[in-house]
Amino acid sequence: MDEGNLSTLSEFILMGLGHSWSMQVLLFMLFLLLYLITVSENIVTMTLISTDPHLHPPMYFFLAKLFFVDTWLSSITTPKIITNFLREKKTISFAGCRCQIFFTHLTAAFEMVLLVSMAYDRYVAICKPLHYSTIMNLQRCTGISHFSLWLGAFAHSIVQVALILHLPFGGPNQLDNFFWDVPQVIKLACTDTFVVELLMVSNSGQLTLLCFLGLLATYAVILCRVKGHSSEGKSKAISTCKTHIIVVSLMFGPPIFIYTRPFQVFPSDKVVFFFHIVIFPLLNPVIYTLRNQEVRASMIKLLSQYVVC
């Protein structure tokens, strides 16, 4: 197709939100309920960690930021999805699509780097306990957080948007999904996108897979090192590592599934995107609250105070 004759698309149409009005109303109520629960529990847990003086070690510093990022990750796309359920024409502008892709990858990459930081924190705490307070001080944790955001997550998001910025869009503009992301958008470009797809896989897929394997290797080393610890210390370390491994698997699973394979459309993509954007931010605080004794005790104490009041 002659790219010179292409007109620039101004919007994309979402076709993955269903056609039945009753089904759309049901999905609207479901997504709205899940979103309200996600935002509420993340804010409550983040506030609890920030205000409780017993929850101020570096691990809880990263944990509070993790819940903060989860709130933003859910809020970038879910409100738009919710409002589209009640609209006859479910569209998003090309500029809005680029913004959502940028901020979604920004928060997701930031969260991945935070999980790497938490793994390093646990490694230092368990394998080098005498140097823990020196290595993982507040200044260093803040530096890691800012470094991961501005140099890691920001650079990754810029690359994602830059690769689709100059693609010609003038043909089909319908996405069979309820979410906008790079694999679906580049399929609508009126040109050969083979090189772009390779760059996307290398930037997102391989990077995500390497981080995931590195995290699993780190926790494997930690679990091997706790064999010589006391029974109580070993139990606490294993419980913490199990919690982190569960969260890491839930966080990295969907991106690995999407970005490490050729960009083809599968029916399961909708389920994977739904889990990654809507369900994962909902499960994260629940997992940490239920499996972390300190957070659970602090939560019970806070609830008991409100009951007494």
- pTM comes to 0.84
In this prediction, residue 7 carries a pLDDT of 44
Q: What is the mean pLDDT of residues 104-116?
A: 87
For the chain, count helices (H), then strands (E): 13, 3
With bands split at pLDDT 50, 70 and 90, how would you rate the model's confidence at 34? very high
Q: What is the mean pLDDT of residues 14-37?
A: 83
**Can you name the residues that pair with 14 across neighbouring β-strands?**
175
How many other CB atoms sit within 10 Å of the CB of residue 23? 12
Architecture per CATH, domain 3-308, reads as Up-down Bundle (1.20)
Q: Which of 28-37, 122-131, 212-221, 229-238 has the lowest mean pLDDT?
A: 229-238
pLDDT tens digits, 244-288: 888 888 888 888 888 877 666 677 777 888 888 888 888 888 888
Q: Which of 21-25, 232-236, 256-260 has the lowest mean pLDDT?
A: 232-236
**How far apart, in whole angstroms, are the C-alpha atoms of residue 168 and residue 10?**
12
Burial of residue 20, with CB atoms counted within 10 A of its CB: 0-12 exposed, 13-18 middle, 19 or more buried: exposed
With bands split at pLDDT 50, 70 and 90, how would you rate the model's confidence at 35? very high
pLDDT tens digits, 168-195: 877 677 777 777 777 778 877 888 878 8
Give whole-number Cα distances, 195 to 115, 119, 228, 264, 265, in Å: 30, 34, 50, 15, 18
Q: What is the mean pLDDT of residues 44-65?
A: 82
With bands split at pLDDT 50, 70 and 90, how would you rate the model's confidence at 1? very low
| Distance, first Cα to last Cα, the chain | 70
**How far apart, in whole angstroms, are the C-alpha atoms of residue 239 and residue 194?**
44
How many other CB atoms sit within 10 Å of the CB of residue 42? 24
Phi, psi of 167 (to 5 degrees): -70, 140
More confident of the two residues 72 and 11: 72
Contact indicator for 225, 276 with CB cutoff of 8 Å: no
Q: Can you give the residue ranges of every domain in the chain?
A: 3-308
